Structure formats: structure tokens, C-alpha cells
Amino acid sequence: TRTQVAIVGAGPAGLLLSHLLHRSGIDSVVIDIRSRHDIATTIRAGILEAGSVRTLVDTGVSDRVITDGDRHDGVVFRFGGENHRIDFQELVGESVWLYPQNDVFADLAARRETDGGDVRYGVSDTAVDTSGARPVVSFIDSDGSPGRIEADLVVGSDGSRSICRKAFPAGTRGEWFREYPFAWFGFLAEAPPSHPELIYAQSEHGFALVSQRTPTMQRMYFQCAPGERPEDWDDDRIWAEMRRRVNGNGFEIQEGPISAKMVLPFRSFVTAPMRYGRLLLAGDAAHTVPPTGAKGLNLALADVRVLHEAIIDFLAGAGDEALDRYTERALDRVWKAQHFSYWMTTMLHSVEGASPFDIARQRGELALVTGSRHGAAYLAEAYTGWQQAA
């Protein structure tokens, strides 16, 4: 097969890129080692920035985010037993949408299908060869037949364990990373929402996040040790932990049967440049953020908006500079999001061995962010998403 852009990874980043390219009259083929069903049912993040929503709606992916998603005009920080609301609309005139990544994927996959896009799920043995004049992606199709895609460009949107990133020759990219001494325990609870908006709770027993999914199903997380095993936590133990961190002063979380327990890794990672020759990286393949603040998916979609423009320019003959500009423009947002995710994480989590000074200082920081209009506006602007720089 010959195509203009071969895309490895059919998550939201890969499918959005394929969709945007299609609208610009550029062909692409997308492959993924996972089945469509696996991608559709993996539980991931739930919050879309205003700009992510505009991208989905304005480029005709779907209006479902508006009709079925939930607009949130603010968020709650809970500490010292009290709720402190940050009003996004009042502070920066923006909102975020609660709309799970599963639904973003479903909308994109359906749109690509309707538009006749070539998306192959369930492939295996993917390999990227950048040694020739044009890159080649080879794989085994789901029916067992060998596949070979020769393309002008290859985009790796294949997640944090990216095989495309590994195809960069040694010494052609740098890596920046940071580990954290904790993880998140995530689960679904069959219960009504505990509050109209998300609650990020800091407590002496550790962090907890009360998020949502539907009127009858809620998503919650609490800080745990990285080595924690989901099977060691039954419903009673989980609710006891959540109550300890969130309940108090008349506020109680709504409880119910628990499912979909998982431990989420916590890592900050960036690789750059996000390009080697005609091979480009987007989304988690190039950077991961800790989940606090829900930036991962939004960052992937933002990469793709910028990459789409770079690809148009490159295929129109603008040369390698167009592709180099992609790394530069994408990294501007990536490092803001890295800082924001790191900052939200350190502001809200408990660190073992923290000194009394550290603990009191953290409380001072929360008081500044929730108690000052300028502090709150800083958070509101970051949470709802920064404007794209030129």
C-alpha cells in the first residue's frame, strides 16, 4: 500500500490526525495492535479542555460531546474539611467538559468509518523502517496477511510504550523524566454523583479525586503506593479510605458497588525532538504527564492540531523546516502541561517523610490558589487549556 501518511496507533491522537488530514485531502492509513473493542472499552481520562471540545465539534467529528457531555464551569479543591470552588467561567470565561476518552474514541472511529478511512485494528508485528528515502511500516494484518505501507511520513501516536519512538536511531533524541513515590488507585462506583463538580481532595491521609461518568456511575481515584494491587482492595476497604480522605463537616461521598479497579502509574516524561527525518511522534508516544489535572488526552489532541498544519505545509513543499516547527510549537504546550501536572500533583499529594514545614507550606499554597483571585485565575486558565501560541 502507498499512502501519504502512515499512522501507528488508532487512539484519539491517531484517529483525529487521520480525520483532519482527510478533511485537507490527504490520505492516511492507521494501524493499531489493539482490537477496536479493546480500545473502546479501556477506561481512561474524563475531562476535555474547551479547545479539545472545539476541535471535535468544529471539524465535524461529532456534536455528542455537547449533547451528551457535561459542561463544568468550575472545580472544587477540598482541604481542611472544606470545599473551595474555583469558578472557571467567572475567572477566564471558559469551561471544561466531562466526556470520557472512550466516547472521544467512539466518535472518531465512527467518523473515520463513515468517511471511508483506512483504519486497521488488531494488527501484529508492527515495524518501522526509516532507512530508505521513504519510510515503510510493515505489520501482519488481523487476517494473518502481511501488510506493508510505504508513506511520505510516518506518525507514531502509539502511546507511552511507543515502538515508533524506539525506531529513532540512538543519539537522535533527548529524554527528560521524573518519577513520583506514589500512584493512583482508580475505580468505578455504581452510585449517583456526590457533587455537581469534580472534587480534588487534599488530606492528611493522602489525595483523593471524586470524578463522574453518568448519573448512575462515578469515577474516583485515591493516592496509593506504586506497588499496590487492585485485588487486595475490596469495596469496604476502598470506601473506608475514601471516607477518611473526603468526608467531613456534613459532606459524604455517595457509595455503591465498585468495579474496574486499576492502579495508574505516575510519571512525567518528554522526548525531543519529536521528529527523526520523516518519522514524527504525537501524544503519549512523545510525552506522558501524571494524571492530576487531566492533561494527557488534551495534550495529545493539541499535538495533532499542530502536526496537521505542519504536514500540510510539508506535503505542499515547505521542506523540513515545517516539520521542525512542529516540535517547537508542540513543546511549548507540552512543558506548560508538564509543569501544571507536576504542580497539581505536588500541591495535592502527601509525601512520606514530609516535614511539618512541608505540610504547612502545602496548605499555604492551597490557600493562595483558592483564596486569591489571581491564584485561582492561574489555575482556571491552565485547567481549561491555554490558547495555542502562533
Handedness of CA 339, 343, 346, 348 (dihedral sign): negative
Burial class (CB in 10 A: 0-12, 13-18, 19+), 314: buried
Q: Partners of 235 in the beta sheet? A: none
Burial 102-112 (b: 16+ CB within 10 A, else e): bbbbbbbbebb
The one-letter amino acid at 83: N
For ligand DHB, give the closer residue by CB, 272 or 382.
Answer: 382
Q: Interior CA angle at 41 toward 287 and 124, to 5°? A: 65
Q: In angstroms, what is the minimal distance from the CB of 130 to ligand DHB?
A: 34
For ligand DHB, give the closer residue by CB, 12 or 291.
Answer: 291
The one-letter amino acid at 279: L
Handedness of CA 203, 205, 208, 210 (dihedral sign): negative
Selecting among 121, 261, 291, 326, the annotated active-site residue is 291
205 included as an active-site residue: no
Residues that bind ligand DHB (CB under 6 A): 45-47, 198, 209, 211, 219, 291-294
* Of the candidates 106, 113, 96, the residue with the CA atom closest to the CA atom of residue 39: 106
For ligand DHB, give the closer residue by CB, 20 or 209.
Answer: 209
Q: In angstroms, what is the minimal distance from the CB of 88 to ligand DHB?
A: 14
For ligand DHB, give the closer residue by CB, 13 or 280.
Answer: 13
Q: In angstroms, what is the minimal distance from the CB of 222 to ligand DHB?
A: 12
Q: In angstroms, what is the minimal distance from the CB of 46 to ligand DHB?
A: 3
Residue nearest to ligand DHB (CB): 46
Handedness of CA 248, 252, 258, 262 (dihedral sign): negative
Q: In angstroms, what is the minimal distance from the CB of 67 to ligand DHB?
A: 19
For ligand DHB, give the closer residue by CB, 10 or 198.
Answer: 198
For ligand DHB, give the closer residue by CB, 105 or 168.
Answer: 105
Selecting among 295, 308, 326, 349, the annotated active-site residue is 295
Q: In angstroms, what is the minimal distance from the CB of 47 to ligand DHB?
A: 5
336 included as an active-site residue: no
276 included as an active-site residue: no
200 included as an active-site residue: yes
Selecting among 180, 200, 276, 326, the annotated active-site residue is 200
Burial 199-215 (b: 16+ CB within 10 A, else e): bbbbbebbbbbbbbbee
Residue 316 CA: distances (Å) to CA of 155, 322, 382: 18, 10, 34
Q: Interior CA angle at 294 toward 291 and 296, to 5°? A: 80
Q: Interior CA angle at 301 toward 59 and 291, to 5°? A: 145
Q: Partners of 265 in the beta sheet? A: none
For ligand DHB, give the closer residue by CB, 128 or 294.
Answer: 294
Cell of 71: 459542561
Length of the chain in residues, anyone?
390
3 state SS of 51 = helix
Q: In angstroms, what is the minimal distance from the CB of 138 to ligand DHB?
A: 35
230 included as an active-site residue: no
Catalytic positions, written as ranges: 72, 200, 291, 295, 383
